[in-house]
Amino acid sequence: MEMTRVFSGIKPTGHVTLGNYLGAMRRWADVDQYRADSLFCIVDLHALTVDHDPARVRRLSRQGATLLLAAGLDPEVCTVYLQSHVDEHTRLSYLLECVATDGEMRRMIQYKEKSARERERGGSVRLSLLTYPVLMAADILAFGTDEVPVGDDQVQHVELARDLAVRFNQRYGHTFVVPKATGPEVAARVMNLQDPTSKMGKSEDSGPGIVYLLDEPDVVRKKVMRAVTDSGREVVYDRETRPGVANLLDILAACTGGEPAALAGAYQSYGALKKDTAEAVVEVLRPVQERHRELCADPSHVDGVLRDGAERARAMARPTVDAAYRAIGL
């Protein structure tokens, strides 16, 4: 039997957050790369869907790749590369645009949110923001991906990739594996510490509610100690009525391996919960930051990993993308 194929990615739209790490990257490094034939991609083309500074995207792509390695992805075991280095992504994306419909794209939650934000700012909405989930579907389908390990916010996009795969296969004959999203048990949606009703995202504005992977220990402590909770006293796990406290318990559980509802019982005050959560986060980030420092001292190593990765990814994607063109009769 062939090994499971896993694909996932991260956008270079901002500094990598604790949400990205606990919701996705950590599992890629600790579990996915060893159980599957896997690819992890810095999806830099997706960063062009909104207003951006090209030099910053370039810098963040590089930093993102370095952090993937720092998190523990081993280029001997999995493939790490930049999306823009592999033309198969955009070659396939066009074919999938001919299978997707305008209506289904406009229904995507992230499109609705991001386009509304863009309009509020008085900016124009790029067409690629609307079609971005199609490119993401191409990212996934090009590799015959079985599983896509992502946080909750990306589940709808993986479902679109499934729909497009099924539709293409029905219309043109079996070509694509139909992928499925897999999520972590805890911390699938790490929330902003200052606004626990919105997610801790790197693409949104920065601020004290977001813990970055490269934050110094004291910065982490300060941010966690200032997290918004509520006026209650008792520590209980309830995401609906106590989102701030539940978020801290989720983070603590993800960092220490416990279970959020069970951990709640161990605390008599919010202060003690925050203190332990801050220390747990500091400990989880420490080895990643150390390894990041080492990797930054040897930039040619990261260059080499990305070059080899792109070559491998191209070779893996080409047969499927060629098959898709042939299936259409081109």
Q: Which is nearer to ligand ADP, 75 or 133 (CB)?
A: 133
CB 15 within 8 A of CB 49: no
Query: How many chain residues bind ligand ADP (CB under 6 A)?
Result: 22
Q: Is there binding between residue 243 and ligand ADP (CB under 6 A)?
A: no
Residue 38, interface with ligand ADP (CB under 6 A)?
Answer: no
Least Cβ distance, residue 169 to ligand ADP (angstroms): 25
H helical segments located in the chain: 18-20, 26-27, 33-35, 54-71, 88-97, 102-106, 109-120, 127-141, 155-172, 217-225, 243-256, 260-264, 270-296, 299-328
Task: Pick out residues in 172-211 that bind ligand ADP (CB under 6 A).
Answer: 187-190, 199-203
Q: Which of 11, 112, 115, 2 is nearest to 61 (CA)?
A: 11
205 annotated as ligand-binding: no
274 is catalytic: no
- When CB distances to ligand ADP are compared, the closest residue is 23
112 is catalytic: no
Given 112, 180, 199, 222, which residue is catalytic? Answer: 199
Q: Is 222 a catalytic residue?
A: no
Listing DSSP states for 198-263 in one string gives SB--SSS---TT--BTT--HHHHHHHHHT----S--S----TTT-HHHHHHHHHHHHHHT--HHHH
Residue type, 245: V
- Cβ contact 246:237 at 8 Å: yes
Q: Give min distance, CB of 13 to ligand ADP, in A.
A: 5
Catalytic residue among 180, 202, 222, 223: 202
Starting at the earlier edge strand, list the strands of the sheet with 37-42: 79-82, 37-42, 5-10, 147-149, 180-182
Q: Residue 95 or residue 213: which is nearer to ligand ADP going by CB?
A: 213
Q: Which is nearer to ligand ADP, 193 or 324 (CB)?
A: 193
- In the complex with ligand ADP, the residue whose CB is nearer, 90 or 203, is 203
20 binds ligand ADP (CB under 6 A): yes
Query: Cβ of residue 8: shortest distance to ligand ADP, in angstroms?
Result: 6
Query: Which residues sit in the known binding site for ATP?
Result: 11-13, 19-20, 151-153, 190, 199-203
Residues tagged active-site = 114, 199, 202
